[in-house]
């Protein structure tokens, strides 16, 4: 499947915004929640966002070529740019692309923001001015991963495309585990955050089958949010959830490509 990149643009403001923008030093996960208001039709930075940023900023990102897939509000992409990375941010939702550009302008960082579908991405479509066609040093992704049994797709208000992920939660993850490794430079790394309900071992197996060394590098137990709460009964009926569960584990999978 090949989908053309609908829009690509490097964004950086000519001058700092009138609001007090975050400092360019010492980016942290909490910055994702402080940057500015995110529109209701774009995924709001949450605990999975923070966990992914924590794992990412453990690395020295100065000069690193980062590709942030399913960028949503752009929180991860902006955190990488503030840490000194050269960042391309990708999302299939035009509203998310616009929100990411606004976040970059507010933070006074430069991002190459691309409107594209994950399944259609290949390295030949990226702007060659800032990125090596041989691949990226780091690929990050917070994909939709909430299992969506029949009848639960509209169980909660908001941008359902940002969390609905098919009956087993793997509609995007399965594509990501195929496409992501192809986007890495030799020796590059990938960081993916997902819920235990979307089968972490299956992701690990798929990434290892693609030739990557993959392990869980971060894990956190969190209470159910409104989306999980709204479809809890259907998840239990589908055999995907313990009826007594009130929390889920989210994990960051770290993968390394051979050199």
Range of the domain at 60: 28-256
> Looking at the domain assignment, is residue 198 inside a domain?
yes
Q: Please answer whether residues 72 and 98 qualify as being in contact, where contact means their C-beta atoms are separated by less than 8 angstroms.
A: no
CA–CA distance, 107 with 21 (Å, rounded to integer): 6
> Looking at the domain assignment, is residue 4 inside a domain?
no
Interacting residues of 126 by C-beta distance below 8 A, sequence separation 6+: 5, 8, 88, 112, 114, 133
User: What is the number of residues in the chain?
Assistant: 259
> Looking at the domain assignment, is residue 172 inside a domain?
yes
> Looking at the domain assignment, is residue 15 inside a domain?
no
**Which CATH number does the domain housing residue 60 bear?**
3.40.50.150
pLDDT value for 30: 52
Per the structure, how many domains does the chain have? 1
76 three-class SS: helix
pTM of the model: 0.82
Would you list the DSSP string of 144-171?
A: --B---TT-TTSSSS-GGGTB--TTS-T
Report pLDDT digits (tens) over 15-29: 333 333 333 444 555
pLDDT value for 6: 36
> Looking at the domain assignment, is residue 162 inside a domain?
yes
> Looking at the domain assignment, is residue 103 inside a domain?
yes
Q: What residues of the chain score a pLDDT lower than 70? A: 1-43, 122-133, 150-163
Among 168, 149, 146, 166, which residue's Cα sits nearest to residue 158? Answer: 146
> Looking at the domain assignment, is residue 21 inside a domain?
no
């Amino acid at each position: 499947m090949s989908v053309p990149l609908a829009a690509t643009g490097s964004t950086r403001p000519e001058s700092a915004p009138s609001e007090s923008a975050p400092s360019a030093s010492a980016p942290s996960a909490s910055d994702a929640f402080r940057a500015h208001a995110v529109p209701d039709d774009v995924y709001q930075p949450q605990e999975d966002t923070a966990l992914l940023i924590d794992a990412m900023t453990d690395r020295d990102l100065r000069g690193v070529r980062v590709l942030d897939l399913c960028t949503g509000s752009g929180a991860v992409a902006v955190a990488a740019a503030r840490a000194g990375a050269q960042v391309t941010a990708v999302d299939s939702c035009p509203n998310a692309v616009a929100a990411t550009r606004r976040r970059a302008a507010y933070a006074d960082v430069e991002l190459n923001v691309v409107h594209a579908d994950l399944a259609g991405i290949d390295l030949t479509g990226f702007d060659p001015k800032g990125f090596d066609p041989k691949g990226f040093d780091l690929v990050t992704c917070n994909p939709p991963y909430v299992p969506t049994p029949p009848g639960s797709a509209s169980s909660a208000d908001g941008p359902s495309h940002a969390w609905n992920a098919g009956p087993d939660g793997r509609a995007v993850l399965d594509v990501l585990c195929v496409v992501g490794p192809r986007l890495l430079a030799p020796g590059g790394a990938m960081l993916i955050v997902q819920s235990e309900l979307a089968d972490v071992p299956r992701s690990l197996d798929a990434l290892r089958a693609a030739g990557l060394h993959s392990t869980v590098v971060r894990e956190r137990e969190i209470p159910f949010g409104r989306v999980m709460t709204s479809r809890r009964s259907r998840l239990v009926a589908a055999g995907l959830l313990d009826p007594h569960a009130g929390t889920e584990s989210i994990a960051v999978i770290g993968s390394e490509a051979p050199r």
